[in-house]
Structure 1
Amino acid sequence: MPAHQGEDLFRETFMGQAMRIVSGNQCLLYPDEDRATQGLPIVLKSMNEERLRQKKEKEEAQKRKEAREEKKKQERRDRGELVTEDRDQEKEKEEMPEDYPFLVTWDDENDPQNPLNWSTGKKVFVTFGICLITVAIYIGSAIYSQGIENVTVDLGVNQTDAVLGLSLFVLGYGLGPMIWAPMSEIPAIGRMPVYIFTLIAFVAIQVPTALIQSLGGLLALRFAAGFIGSPSLATGGASLNDIYTPKKRAYSLGVWGAAAACGPVMGPVVGGFAAEANGWRWTIYELLWLSGGALIFLLFCMPETNSMTILTRKARRIRKLTGDDRWKSAGDIETEKMTPVQIVQMTLVFPFVLTFTEPIVFFLNLYTALVYGLLYIWFESFPIVFIGIYGFTLGLEGVAFLGILVGTVIGFISLAIYLRVHLEPKFDSEAEEDGGEKGTILPEQRLPPAFVASICFPLCLFLFGWLSRESIIWVVPLLCTLLFGIGIYLFFMAVLNYLPDAYPTKAASVLAGNDFFRSSFGGAFPLFASAMYNNLGVGWASSTLGFISLAMIPIPFVLYFYGDKIREKSKYTG
């Protein structure tokens, strides 16, 4: 990364902004401030030209969209289908104040401050930071699970009580994004402060967690850690949505998804050996070290990615430099229109509204939640199979989870091939048809990987359940776990790409709702998992999970064929 790009990146980080405040904005100058010190125009003529260009581009895009919709309607009429001309529900129109004469926007189409124009090296660096914090938080659930037996002995509690430390952590990082993710969409706040302040609190909580001597205190701290440390799990996808175009976004989400999979998979590996050697408290110390390292990295290396926030800061600088309070960004204008009640509704209520009023969001969240719940129940079978049947030690039993990681790698390679061979040409053809360089595709084109995933889940569960026996070598059930790794990766990538494409202006909120659903199930299901496997046996317990996953297979197929018609009736889709 060139030196000037490194300075640009550091300027937008928490420490960079802190240095600017301490120095009275005399260091790490922005281009507009630098122009002011040289006596050059602060507001470039190109900014107004860019505003007009964006307005014209939006109008042309709207005309092309209307033409495509009319073409589809005519095709349906020709097939004899009934076409409703007037929708029951008007779409919510995005109100962009293009005609406001003092609107602050990018200097020009190639403005390097625009996250979409960042260099590939800078985008990769930021993506790495998002993946790092995701692993540091996600590993916090599974790393504790390997010390549950030791918790029962150390604190004198039963296993169900000890499992609550896992369940409440997962439930916490399901509830947290319902607040933190919408907050990161408020232009005056942005994403970076949400990441930093919550991660500081997360790291601090690990110290009393490792030292606590009571079950009640342990459970309260585990829930608080999950709740406070949760932004990366929903806001991470929104951050990647900020810096990548739709054509390339799926690759970055693919890498992020692989990082997210590493957390639950590597947790038992790392935590197993620590718990076996030094008890459950050392699993928390490991979490403290990992999250502390991620915090240091983010303090110095994580820039703001929300374009609305970047422009809001730019407008604030121009007002200060010119003494003219009329200069405003679109985010300023949007915020001025919002009452305190509306801000609270946006932060606390809107993710629930999306989840329970949008059929697409509801059914995908339900499927995601069941998959996540099945994963956490199925994890409870690993000690029964690999320790009880095959005689693994606690540390080696954690290694058995690596089969899922290998499956994730296979899933990533498969997804990359699908994107390169199938989806990217569709973007190019759409761009050519629209007469521009930035083609788009129907969001439903993101769903085919979920078709494969929906088959992998039941196949894995049935095979694993009935092939886990002393007469069959341990390698066979381990190989079966590959299928679940492939399935869960492809499924989450389909969902995480589809939902932001279907709801582009509500990405963080819709992903927060998805996170809440899956974490609620993932937190509740382990509470009865051990009893289920002990009473039904590995074969029938796994088969029960397989039958549940079989019932969910139609969901991605239905959305693929009818999702566009469902979206037509929504006021929140793009």
Structure 2
Amino acid sequence: MDETNPLLPDTTLERVREIEDARDDVVEFDSSGDAENPLEWAPAYKWTIVGLLAFMAFTVTFTCISVVPIATRITTDLGDPRKASSVLLVTIWELGEAAGPLLIGPLSELFGRYPVMNAANIGFIGATVLAALCQKAPLFIAARALTGLVVATNVLNPAIVGDMFITEQHGSAMSLVQLAPITGGAIGPLISGAMAETIGWRSVVWLSVGLACICELFLLTCFRETYKVPILRRKAARLRKETGDKALRTAFDLIGEEQGTRKLWVAMTRPVVVFIDSFVLQLISLFGAMTFSYFYVFSTTYPDILMQTYNLTSAQTGLSFIPLTGGSIVGTLVCNSVLDRIYIMLRDANNGVGRPEYRLPVVIVGAFALPLSFTIYGWVPELGLPLWVMLTISGIFGFAMNFAFMPVFTYVVDAFGLYSASAITALIVTRCVAATFFPLAAVSLIKQLGSGFGCSVLGAIGLAFAPIPVLIYFFGPAWRQHSRYTKGGSA
């Protein structure tokens, strides 16, 4: 499957092209220029939409991360002072995001990007309002899960960029969209800590509601449908009315593809099929799930360490997330600068034959650096080291986190080719489920053993997973031959 059309099998796309070339009664975009074709929209408008997508991505990340430094205060105010509740308040978002991609993507293929994006954002607003109004911790946690469920940006932003831009322009557009969540992750804790101290934590949630409402206003007034299937169907309906030619159809209407709930079910289950079929995907998903879980273990323990060990206020704790974000940004920039260079170097050394596994050396470095930095993070407060040491190790942790996880997506895209959308969905679902529940056990372990020994145990577990990218680097080319869905597979 193509990333820009993630639910259309490659055979369907080929058949569409055949029909468009062979029949005169098929409605398609005018090759000499068509104002309805998203690829031919004015650049200024397309970049306006990219800006809107970035703003939405910022809002989603702000809403997700802003509660991190104040989670304990929220659950305590709502009558549940248990640490497990504050951890679940943060991580339950990921459980919702585990289910969302399985539904949002297929629905956008059936009904178009515009109605699904608007419906999801309205649901996001409603769930966030519910969180702002609730009086009990369990209801707040449930509202957070629902909010994660209706997040559409992860699934639809890349697809919308693919609808509007040619392949050579995807990188620059997605770079802007991907920068927004990093910014939201830095600003969220900073603002929430200060607001919680002055006007209360509910004001933080209401701020998220306001940002989401602004997004929805722009979605309703500025955003247009970008997916070619509903655009062409509307064009065909208009031409039938104008010309009286009832035979006019789109190629998608003529190939007799599955419709309705059957198509939706096939699309939702395809990631599961690809996951079960590929041992490589199972291994890399397991590694990715463990790696991503470290972020939530860190995020749910970091505020308590800063407040209890270093006696920081909520506002100061929010400021202390800046080194983490700074490390993540530096890690992203370094990763992007060396990833292709390493690939080219290894490809040239292999007589010009590239392999997806050549994306993994960076991951291997991060796989060992991440658990080691997390172990050091646990011993800093245990040994009573100064605050600047804690802030420094948080930046190193953010750097290692990006090294260990970001190139995994590139590897999956390269290895699975036409089926990369389903493979990435399986990867996301796996990591989200792990990030929801693993931190609960991890935080309990740290509480029992102390931050030093607790983080050492978790670091040892991470080191046990670190050889996975090493094994895939050496044996992945052979293992991929046993899957029907990986490049170079048996089918």
TM-score category (smaller protein): 0.7 to 0.9
- Tell me the residue number matched to 1:296: 217
Q: Distance in 2 between matches of 1:313 and 1:561?
A: 50
Residues 241, 499 of structure 1: alpha-carbon distance in 2 compared, 3 angstrom cutoff = farther
- Aligned 1:341-360 pairs, distance under 5 A: 341-360=261-280
**How far apart, CA to CA, are the structure 1 residues paired with 2:162 and 2:356?**
14
Equivalent in the alignment of 1:108: 31
Indicate the SS of the match to 2:66. Answer: helix
Secondary structure at the residue paired with 2:15? coil
The unaligned stretches of length 5 or more in structure 1 are 1-90, 428-432, 434-439
CA positional deviation for 1:132: 1.9
Amino acid at match of 1:137: V
Distance 2:137 2:263 in 1: 37
Shift of 1:505: 4.6
Question: 1:305 corresponds to which residue?
Answer: 226
2:146 equivalent among 210, 216, 224: 224
> In the alignment, which of 109, 131, 135 is matched to residue 185 of structure 1?
109
The residue number in structure 1 matching 2:258 is: 338
More helix by share: 2
Aligned pairs for 1:70-81 (under 5 A) are none
Q: From 449, 468, 487, give the equivalent of 1:555.
A: 468
Q: Quick one: distance in 1 between partners of 2:231 and 2:360?
A: 32
The correspondence for 1:209, drawn from 125, 131, 151, is 131
Residue 127 of structure 1 aligns to which amino acid in structure 2?
V
Q: How many angstroms apart in 1 are the aligned matches of 2:236 and 2:482?
A: 36
Q: Aligned partners of 1:448, 1:249: CA distance in 2, in Å? A: 25
Pick which of 308-317 and 211-220 moved more.
308-317
Matching residue of 1:147 = 70
Q: Distance in 2 between matches of 1:320 and 1:507?
A: 40
The change in CA–CA distance for 1:162 and 1:557 in structure 2 (over 3 A counts) is closer
Residue deviations 1:241-278 (CA, integer Å, cap 9, x gap): 44455555455444444433344444322222222223
Q: Kindly state the Cα deviation for residue 114 of structure 1 after the two structures are TM-superposed.
A: 4.8
When residues 125 and 450 of structure 1 are mapped into structure 2, their CA distance, relative to the original with a 3 A threshold, is farther
Deviation of 1:448 (Å): 4.4
Residue type of the alignment partner of 2:393 = C
Structure 2 residue runs of 5 or longer lacking an equivalent are: 1-8
Partner of 2:316: 396
Q: Deviations over 1:416-458 (max 9, x none)?
A: 433675679999xxxxx9xxxxxx9755454444234323312
Partners of 2:430 and 2:486 lie apart in 1 by 20
CA offsets, 1:299-352, max 9 Å, x none? 333343334444444444444433334433343345x32044522322432232
The alignment status of 1:538 with 2:451, answered yes or no, reads yes
Task: Indicate the percent of aligned positions where both proteins have the same amino acid.
Answer: 27
Q: Give, in angstroms, the shift of residue 155 of structure 1.
A: 2.4
1:150-169 map, 5 Å? 150-159=73-82, 160-169=84-93
Aligned to 1:515: 428
Structural RMSD (CA): 3.4
Cα deviation per residue 1:501-527 (whole Å; 9 max; x = unaligned)?
Answer: 444555554433332222212221333
Residue 337 of structure 1 aligns to which amino acid in structure 2? E
Distance in 1 between residues matched to 2:268 and 2:470, nearest whole Å? 32
Match of 2:51 among 123, 128, 151: 128
Distance 1:310 1:506, change over 3 A: farther
What secondary structure, in the 3-state scheme, does the structure 2 residue paired with 1:337 have?
Answer: coil
**Secondary structure of 1:183's partner?**
helix
Change (3 A) 1:157 1:190: same
Separation in 2 of the partners of 1:303 and 1:565?
A: 45
Per-residue deviation at 1:287? 1.4
Structure with max Cα Rg: 1
CA distance in 2, matches of 1:451, 1:247: 29
Count of residues in correspondence between the two structures: 469
Shift of residue 414, structure 1, vs aligned partner: 1.7
Q: What residue number does 2:371 align with?
A: 458
Check conservation: 2:70, 2:314, Cα contact below 8 A. Answer: no
Query: What is aligned with 1:261?
Result: 182
Pair 1:570–1:140, CA change in 2 (3 A): same
